[in-house]
Amino acid sequence: MGKKHKKSRRPKGALAGIILSNFSENPFRAYNYKQIARQLGLRDQASKDLVFNILEELHLAGELQEVKPGKYMLNAESSANTGLARKYVTGIVDMKKTGKAYITPDEGGDDIFVAANNVHRALHGDHVKVLLFPRRKSHKKEGQIEEILERKKTTYVGILEVSKNFGFVLPDNENMPYDIFIPKSQIKEDINGMKVVARITEWPEHSNNPFGEIIQVLGKPGDNDVEMQSILVEYNFPLSFPKNVEKEADKIDTTISKAEIGRRKDFRNTWTITIDPFDAKDFDDALSLKKLKDGLWEVGVHIADVSYYVQPKSLIDKEAYSRATSIYLVDRVIPMLPEVLSNNVCSLRPNEEKLTFSAVFKMNDRAEVVGEWFGKTVINSDRRFAYEEVQQIIETEQGEFAREILQLHRFADILRKKRFENGSINFNSEEIKFKLDENGKPIETYVKEQKESNHLVEEFMLLANKKVATLIGKPGEGKSPKTFVYRIHDEPNPEKLSTFAQFVKKLGFSLNVSSHKQLASSYNQLFNQIKGRGEEHMIESIAIRTMAKAIYSTDNIGHYGLAFDYYTHFTSPIRRYPDLMVHRLLESYLHGGNSVKKDPLEDKCKHSSDMEKLATEAERASVKYKQIEYMTDKIGKVLEGNISGVSKWGIFVEIIESKSEGLIRFNELKDDYYYLDEDNYRIIGKTHGNVYRLGDKVNVLVKKVDLANRQMDLQLVD
């Protein structure tokens, strides 16, 4: 240092002990003398110099080790610290915009907090090795990232900002806390301010930001096509099919031979319809109905036979597996299969002979299944219905094929009531829809209601899925179940459930968690009680988050939410790869095939679950973007909303018209000083005692709309 140290009033021995205890609390972190002095609140130079000298002495005494010049860490090998064994775990990074992260351990258990200065260049989704700090009493698990085992993502979408000598890409991704540095040599054209795709190429040791290159220019921010493509690229979904896949699809023989029809059960003369959204093009399921002589009914659930056209290991099959699902953005569908298949060859269009895989049930008037058959069929749909048309027939009891549709509706109604009596939970998740102009700008927004016509189709699809899974998973006495793809849903985490029960109790509602049936009944009652109330959407969202996520697996544990012991996905092979796997397995097993190997199938299940999650996130991102875009021309207007959340930043309000959410910041509440009563989900004015709580209706002024960050600032209006 070259400085003369002044004597400190604090005893040197005591200060050394305090410093050593600081290192003991964080035994795997390194500090220099300035950091230690700051922790101890020592600001004068004399005290800092003293800390410097003590660190040197502790180092010489073997209590500390010098990991870098002037930077020390507790020496775990010293006699006083031999009990400090290093413990590592591996897990996935959940990165926050602030730079801090939480690690979800591979082996389960509580998340591990990692401060921003201990992330060490890891990014969201990375698989990492974490060094755990000793857990202090009443503190959360904490650690630092030691190694990146697998980098999950290297490409990011964002806006390029160019200065004289370099550029930065400001990522759209809210889990990406770093801008990407782009050398001027990488910027080949005038693309300042454009949406681009950047790939991280390196992250030099001395740099706070990763270095990258521009690999694609998407276009001008705010343009509908650019923004939708940005979402797809951000979630690693392709924008088009490879040319060799398209060529293979174009070569598929679409003619149906007499020999193939002869191998199938013929339903061409049985009354059959499809029911889909009015704008759908891929009709993958149809329903048939026939009155039998013995007073029973035959109900057929006919599913597009994609497996006939898409052979295992073909180029189309490999591409379908890679995508694993179709993605439904606000204004477009990114199909799992090329359109020649999804919208033409496989789609169950009316008045065309189509190949199907069917689950056919004999039912009595009480909707009890008294017989079942599964196999390959051929159909010819009599009529393509939209949900709205079927709903009108149900409500008026009039219209084309009203007698058949009303009979299917009666069966579905009985099946639905029985399902809820048996413990099925009626989760209500809102589906936001938009009317767009010719440029893709939203001009109207509405919530799509689930009505009886939707329930009609849903119940028969659930029945088919359940019965197919039961056929394979519960083959009968003396037979062993063969390896299969199940759609499973685990029991809720007891801790999350308890927290949710306490949450709704404070809002005046109750949950009975004593058994599955009681809980299901409580949930369904709760959803009915909150319908139309301000807190409805938030309570439903939190309720869904208390539940485990449904996934695909070869290990059947049943489906908790549906209260089914056996369940699979059989009914949508045009848009879900697991359904295609189920079709292939079912066909093989119906013909006496041997059980397939479990591990490769489980890998495919995991991939399908992961891709489904990504698709859901992409779809939500497109909805959120359109919600905020819809609000851009509402700036300065006063609208009605419901308080949807309270936080340390202010109160969140969901606009009733658009279902978009904005924030009223505390500094915008001018009439009083408000404090947060977090336990009771409200804020309270200190002087006048005004209270704003979750669910309250309020009028708000739309103050600012930030389309780039999908954020909206609001102001309370009396």
Tens of pLDDT, residue by residue over 127-144, are: 999 988 776 554 678 888
Quick check: do 155-221 and 635-717 share a fold? yes
Distances (CA, A) of 84 to 58, 79, 133, 351: 17, 11, 10, 75
User: Which pLDDT does position 78 carry in this prediction?
Assistant: 59
| Averaged confidence pLDDT in the chain | 90
User: Which pLDDT does position 447 carry in this prediction?
Assistant: 85
**Phi and psi dihedrals of 424, rounded to 5?**
-75, 140
Tens of pLDDT, residue by residue over 85-124, are: 568 899 999 999 889 999 999 987 888 999 888 899 999 9
The pairing of beta strand 353-363 with beta strand 333-334? unpaired
Tens of pLDDT, residue by residue over 603-639, are: 999 999 999 999 999 999 999 999 999 999 999 999 9
> Rounded mean pLDDT of 436-444?
92
Question: pLDDT grade, residue 10 (50/70/90)?
Answer: very low
pLDDT above 70 as % of the chain: 95
The pair of three-digit structure tokens given for residue 525, joined into one six-digit string? 């009652």
Q: Treating both helix axes as pointing N-terminal to C-terminal, what angle do 45-60 and 12-25 enclose, rounded to 10 degrees?
A: 70
> Rounded mean pLDDT of 575-596?
97
Tens of pLDDT, residue by residue over 16-40, are: 777 877 777 677 778 899 988 888 8
Residues 6+ apart with CB under 8 A from 283: 274, 276, 304, 347, 348, 349, 381, 384
> Rounded mean pLDDT of 443-462?
94
Q: How far apart are CA 305 and CA 357, in angstroms?
A: 5
637-675: buried (b, 16+ CB within 10 Å) or exposed (e) per residue?
eebebbbbbbeeebbbbbbeebbbbbbbebeebeeeebe
202 strand-pairing partners: 211
pLDDT above 90 as % of the chain: 63
> 192 versus 79: which is more confidently predicted?
192
Q: How far apart are CA 42 and CA 293, in angstroms?
A: 94
The pair of three-digit structure tokens given for residue 532, joined into one six-digit string? 């139309």
Task: Say if residue 670's pLDDT is above 90.
Answer: no
Helix and strand totals (H; E) in the chain: 17, 33
Question: pLDDT grade, residue 402 (50/70/90)?
Answer: very high
Q: From 3.20.20.80, 2.40.50.140, 1.10.10.10, 3.40.50.720, which CATH number describes the 87-150 domain?
A: 2.40.50.140
User: Which pLDDT does position 560 carry in this prediction?
Assistant: 94
> 507 versus 326: which is more confidently predicted?
326
Task: Say if residue 531's pLDDT is above 50.
Answer: yes
User: Which pLDDT does position 187 carry in this prediction?
Assistant: 87
Q: How far apart are CA 444 and CA 630, in angstroms?
A: 8
**Domain 635-717 of CATH type 2.40.50.140:** yes
Q: DSSP letters along 192-215, please?
A: TT-EEEEEEEE--TT-SS-EEEEE
Question: pLDDT grade, residue 311 (50/70/90)?
Answer: very high
Task: Say if residue 199's pLDDT is above 90.
Answer: yes
Task: Say if residue 554's pLDDT is above 60.
Answer: yes
User: Which pLDDT does position 84 carry in this prediction?
Assistant: 53
> Rounded mean pLDDT of 333-357?
96
Q: How far apart are CA 65 and CA 515, in angstroms?
A: 56
Task: Say if residue 9's pLDDT is above 50.
Answer: no
User: Which pLDDT does position 11 carry in this prediction?
Assistant: 36
User: Which pLDDT does position 290 carry in this prediction?
Assistant: 97
Smallest CA-to-CA distance from 385 within 350, 416, 409, 433 is with 350
3-state secondary structure of 575: coil
CA angle 596, 601, 604 (to 5 degrees): 155
Domain definitions of the chain by residue range: 12-81, 87-150, 155-221, 259-420+442-448, 476-619, 635-717
**pTM score:** 0.83
Dihedral over alpha carbons 510, 511, 512, 514 (to 10 degrees): -140
Q: From 3.40.50.300, 3.40.50.2000, 3.40.50.620, 2.40.50.700, which CATH number describes the 155-221 domain?
A: 2.40.50.700
Q: Report the amino acid identity of residue 566.
A: Y
> 206 versus 374: which is more confidently predicted?
374
Question: pLDDT grade, residue 542 (50/70/90)?
Answer: confident
Write out the CATH class of domain 12-81: mainly alpha
